[in-house]
Amino acid sequence: MTIAFACVLIAGLLPIVAAGIAKFGFKDFDNSNPRQWLAKQTGFRARANAAQANTFESIPFFFAAIAIAAITQAPQERIDFLAVIYVLARIAFIVCYVADWPKLRTAVWTVALAAIIAIFFQI
Protein backbone atom coordinates (compact mmCIF):
# COMPACT_ATOMS: atom_id res chain seq x y z
CA MET A 1 0.00 0.00 0.00
CA THR A 2 1.35 3.40 -0.93
CA ILE A 3 1.35 6.30 1.50
CA ALA A 4 -1.23 8.03 -0.71
CA PHE A 5 -3.54 5.00 -0.48
CA ALA A 6 -3.11 4.98 3.30
CA CYS A 7 -4.07 8.66 3.27
CA VAL A 8 -7.26 7.74 1.40
CA LEU A 9 -8.13 5.40 4.26
CA ILE A 10 -7.32 8.00 6.90
CA ALA A 11 -9.29 10.69 5.06
CA GLY A 12 -12.26 8.35 4.87
CA LEU A 13 -12.19 7.98 8.65
CA LEU A 14 -11.93 11.70 9.45
CA PRO A 15 -15.69 12.40 9.21
CA ILE A 16 -16.26 9.62 11.74
CA VAL A 17 -13.77 11.29 14.08
CA ALA A 18 -15.58 14.62 13.73
CA ALA A 19 -18.94 12.93 14.38
CA GLY A 20 -17.49 11.26 17.45
CA ILE A 21 -16.34 14.63 18.79
CA ALA A 22 -19.87 15.98 18.32
CA LYS A 23 -21.43 13.05 20.18
CA PHE A 24 -18.73 12.18 22.73
CA GLY A 25 -19.59 12.19 26.42
CA PHE A 26 -23.09 13.54 26.04
CA LYS A 27 -25.46 11.60 28.26
CA ASP A 28 -28.60 12.68 26.43
CA PHE A 29 -27.43 11.64 22.97
CA ASP A 30 -30.35 10.14 21.04
CA ASN A 31 -28.96 7.33 18.91
CA SER A 32 -32.47 6.63 17.60
CA ASN A 33 -32.52 10.06 15.94
CA PRO A 34 -28.89 11.21 15.75
CA ARG A 35 -29.37 13.75 12.95
CA GLN A 36 -32.24 15.46 14.71
CA TRP A 37 -30.23 15.50 17.94
CA LEU A 38 -27.19 16.94 16.18
CA ALA A 39 -29.31 19.61 14.48
CA LYS A 40 -30.25 20.93 17.94
CA GLN A 41 -26.69 21.18 19.23
CA THR A 42 -24.73 24.39 19.73
CA GLY A 43 -21.12 25.30 20.45
CA PHE A 44 -18.35 22.84 19.77
CA ARG A 45 -20.81 19.99 19.08
CA ALA A 46 -22.47 21.94 16.27
CA ARG A 47 -19.06 22.93 14.90
CA ALA A 48 -17.83 19.31 15.02
CA ASN A 49 -20.93 18.25 13.11
CA ALA A 50 -20.29 20.98 10.53
CA ALA A 51 -16.67 19.81 10.26
CA GLN A 52 -17.98 16.30 9.61
CA ALA A 53 -20.19 17.55 6.76
CA ASN A 54 -17.43 19.64 5.22
CA THR A 55 -14.99 16.75 5.42
CA PHE A 56 -17.45 14.48 3.61
CA GLU A 57 -17.75 17.16 0.91
CA SER A 58 -13.98 17.30 0.41
CA ILE A 59 -13.33 13.56 0.20
CA PRO A 60 -14.57 12.76 -3.34
CA PHE A 61 -12.26 15.33 -4.93
CA PHE A 62 -9.28 13.94 -2.98
CA PHE A 63 -10.17 10.32 -3.74
CA ALA A 64 -10.51 11.11 -7.44
CA ALA A 65 -7.14 12.87 -7.49
CA ILE A 66 -5.39 9.91 -5.86
CA ALA A 67 -7.14 7.37 -8.12
CA ILE A 68 -6.33 9.29 -11.30
CA ALA A 69 -2.74 9.79 -10.15
CA ALA A 70 -2.41 6.04 -9.58
CA ILE A 71 -3.94 5.17 -12.95
CA THR A 72 -1.67 7.57 -14.80
CA GLN A 73 1.37 6.48 -12.77
CA ALA A 74 2.18 9.98 -11.58
CA PRO A 75 5.40 10.38 -9.56
CA GLN A 76 4.60 8.42 -6.40
CA GLU A 77 6.82 10.39 -4.00
CA ARG A 78 5.13 13.65 -4.95
CA ILE A 79 1.66 12.13 -4.74
CA ASP A 80 2.47 10.65 -1.33
CA PHE A 81 3.78 13.99 -0.08
CA LEU A 82 0.73 15.89 -1.29
CA ALA A 83 -1.64 13.27 0.14
CA VAL A 84 0.00 13.63 3.55
CA ILE A 85 -0.32 17.43 3.30
CA TYR A 86 -4.02 17.01 2.51
CA VAL A 87 -4.64 14.71 5.48
CA LEU A 88 -2.70 16.89 7.91
CA ALA A 89 -4.55 19.97 6.69
CA ARG A 90 -7.92 18.22 7.07
CA ILE A 91 -7.02 17.15 10.61
CA ALA A 92 -6.04 20.73 11.39
CA PHE A 93 -9.30 21.86 9.78
CA ILE A 94 -11.34 19.72 12.19
CA VAL A 95 -9.33 21.01 15.15
CA CYS A 96 -9.80 24.61 14.02
CA TYR A 97 -13.51 24.12 13.44
CA VAL A 98 -14.11 22.57 16.86
CA ALA A 99 -11.93 25.18 18.58
CA ASP A 100 -13.75 28.01 16.75
CA TRP A 101 -10.71 29.46 15.00
CA PRO A 102 -12.35 30.56 11.73
CA LYS A 103 -9.42 32.39 10.11
CA LEU A 104 -6.97 29.55 10.68
CA ARG A 105 -9.68 27.08 9.62
CA THR A 106 -9.99 28.88 6.28
CA ALA A 107 -6.22 28.85 5.85
CA VAL A 108 -5.89 25.09 6.42
CA TRP A 109 -8.95 24.44 4.24
CA THR A 110 -7.11 26.31 1.48
CA VAL A 111 -3.96 24.23 2.03
CA ALA A 112 -5.99 21.01 1.68
CA LEU A 113 -7.62 22.25 -1.52
CA ALA A 114 -4.24 23.34 -2.90
CA ALA A 115 -2.84 19.88 -2.17
CA ILE A 116 -5.60 18.26 -4.21
CA ILE A 117 -5.09 20.66 -7.10
CA ALA A 118 -1.33 20.05 -6.94
CA ILE A 119 -1.95 16.30 -7.23
CA PHE A 120 -3.76 16.93 -10.52
CA PHE A 121 -0.76 18.91 -11.78
CA GLN A 122 1.43 15.82 -11.20
CA ILE A 123 -0.68 13.80 -13.64
Q: State how many domains the chain has.
A: 1
Which of 58 and 30 is assigned the larger pLDDT? 58
Q: Which residues contact 55 (CB under 8 A, 6 or more apart)?
A: 11, 14, 15, 18, 90, 93, 94
Instruction: Please give the model's pTM, rounded to 2 decimal places.
Output: 0.94
Q: Which residues contact 58 (CB under 8 A, 6 or more apart)?
A: 90, 112, 113
Assess contact for 50 and 105: CB atoms under 8 A: no
Per-residue pLDDT tens digits for 87-116: 999 999 999 999 999 999 999 999 999 999
Indicate which CATH number applies to the domain containing 22: 1.20.120.550
Residue 6 has pLDDT above 90, yes or no: yes
> What region, left, alpha or beta, does residue 25 occupy, with left being phi > 0 and alpha being psi -120 to 50 degrees?
left
Q: How remote is the C-alpha of 83 from its chain's centroid?
A: 12
Domain that holds residue 28: 3-120
